[in-house]
Amino acid sequence: MTPREEIELIENGRRVIEAGTLAASLSELLRLNADRYPQQTALREIDGQGRVLTYRGLNGLVWRVVALLSSLGVKRGTHVAIALSNCVEIIAIWIALSRIGAVAVGVNPSLTEKELEYILDTSDSEFLVLDEGRRDWVSDWKRFLLPSERIIVVGTGAGQEVGRSFNADLAGQGYRETPVASPDIDAPASILYTSGSSGRPKPALLPHRWHTMMGHVRSLQGPRVTNVLIENPIYYMGGQWRLAMALTQAATVLVASKPTLNHFAERVAGYEVEFSSLSNLIAKRPDFSLDVQSRLKWMACCALPKELHAEAERKIRAPIREIYGSTEMGSTIVMPTQATTMVGSGSVGLPAAFRSCRIVDALGNEVSRGSVGELQVRGSGMLTGYYKLPEASADAFDMGWFKTGDLFRQDSDGYYFWVARAKDVIRRSNENISATELEEEVGKLAGILEVAALPVPDDYRGEEVKLYIRLQPGFSNSEVSPKAILEHCRSRLATYKLPRYIEYVDEFPLTVSLKISKPDLKKAKPDLRVGSFDLAENLWR
């Protein structure tokens, strides 16, 4: 099948998806599954307490949580911050808030008190749900302007002095299934915070349609599955679309409290996982493979180096397909499993159902195919806006088109290719250098596991290029030396793109989506030259 024939097949599927009916909310998806498949396993914890719930059992638990939260004053429109790692409780509480019509606010449990205070303030959260392991957060609860009874602690309750015990309150909570009018599909459902790569995280206000649409789109990107592994945090977009995907297919949610790099293959094989995601860190491991008996039907990936794609598929014996999206847009560009000719091409796919895409130049004019410009997106089910940030909300759109800040190109067949972050550019002596291009080229050198390219302020050139290098196990910086890296670059890149500074790191700070956090690298030291080898001066600084 040619790429054009694949596109025709995919476009037909897209029209079928858009003609279908979306569930009104995550709560509605759960209710439908509980009615149709009451004894089917809905949820299995694969670490932690190892709890297992059927769809009937999960629906009953959600009703009890609805009754409990309602008794505390949570109602339609109430904002409730949830600071929990992946577990039964975060799923039950999130869906319960959907059933009530309240707004769930996702909070990373690893934040500092100051960061938590910022989120509670900017989201107007009236309640806070947290794990007992983070009670240190609320020892001085009055600073958050929340009454103690509006702080809900999940755990054993041992030694608890502040807040209510979720477990104790729930244990004595009865419930009665009463007819509840589903909230409007375009009503606010959640607030998820963006990564904040250009400043402090922004609260994206998302409708119920955002959740159910993502589940629908991702479910039809590949074959139907009976279970979905969720390692990504549910307080973040990655965990949310996996949860919605599982509920859409009435599949079992295999929920893990955190990802594993060292035991991923054993986890996939041991729990007979049919859908998961493949991180670049795992794909790059030379010892990575999956047992021939693996039940994987397909995997999702994000920015998997094209040189690794075909080999990774051979190792796992299942399709691996790119996805592109963001908190604001949800699922935007996807590569369906039918697109076999595109394996190893580097393309992220075609516009997802309910999404239109265009590529524009700096003046907002659409560019020709093959040219690079900023990707803009429009469609239903995107963010309503950044909560209480009208200027940022207005700036995010260009006549109804969301400005992604990502540079893309489109090939002659119509497939989209991610090029770089528009702002991820190093400007050296009036030349723009793509950090992504540097990272891709340097990453091809044997012994290198991960690379991050950052600008270093320079009085003469404006900015200089610095590379952070993480080596593969068994390699040292004498084997993969700064001069070896420079020679590798010299044979592949223009002179103005060559790095000046090289720093070796044991690990990178990561975002919640397991991407390298460049803002954290920049903040790690006041002088980014310190700890680097200076290739111009031939010395360690």
Interatomic CA distance for residues 392 and 386, integer angstroms: 7
Tokens of 386: 């950044």
Return all residues near 258 (Cβ < 8 A) that are at least 6 apart: 47, 85, 86, 231
Average pLDDT over residues 81-89: 97
pLDDT tens digits, 225-243: 999 999 999 999 999 999 9
- Residue 137's pLDDT is 80
pLDDT tens digits, 296-324: 999 999 888 888 899 899 888 899 999 99
Average pLDDT over residues 334-345: 93
pLDDT tens digits, 97-137: 999 999 999 998 888 788 888 899 999 999 999 999 888 88
Average pLDDT over residues 400-426: 90
Interatomic CA distance for residues 415 and 346, integer angstroms: 10
Interatomic CA distance for residues 541 and 527, integer angstroms: 10
At 5, is the pLDDT very low, low, confident or very high (cuts 50, 70, 90)?
A: confident
Tokens of 468: 């952070």
Rounded CA Rg of the chain: 24
Average pLDDT over residues 476-503: 92
pLDDT tens digits, 455-482: 999 877 888 999 999 999 999 999 999 9
Query: Nearest 5°: phi and psi at 431?
Result: -105, 135
Average pLDDT over residues 376-388: 97
- Residue 196's pLDDT is 52
- Residue 141's pLDDT is 65
Closest CA to 225 of 242, 239, 213, 211: 242
- Residue 159's pLDDT is 65
pLDDT tens digits, 135-186: 888 776 666 778 889 999 999 876 677 789 999 999 988 777 777 778 899 9
Average pLDDT over residues 372-389: 97
Average pLDDT over residues 491-515: 87
Average pLDDT over residues 502-524: 89
In eight-state DSSP terms, residue 276 is: E
Interatomic CA distance for residues 276 and 228, integer angstroms: 6
Helix residue spans in 356-481 (DSSP H): 390-395, 435-442
Closest CA to 325 of 343, 310, 303, 308: 303
Mean pLDDT, the chain, whole residue set: 91
Interatomic CA distance for residues 541 and 524, integer angstroms: 16
Enumerate domains of the chain plus CATH numbers. 54-207 (3.40.50.980), 425-540 (3.30.300.30)
3-state secondary structure (DSSP) of residue 51: coil
Q: Are the beta carbons of 291 and 267 closer than 8 angstroms? A: no
Interatomic CA distance for residues 525 and 505, integer angstroms: 14
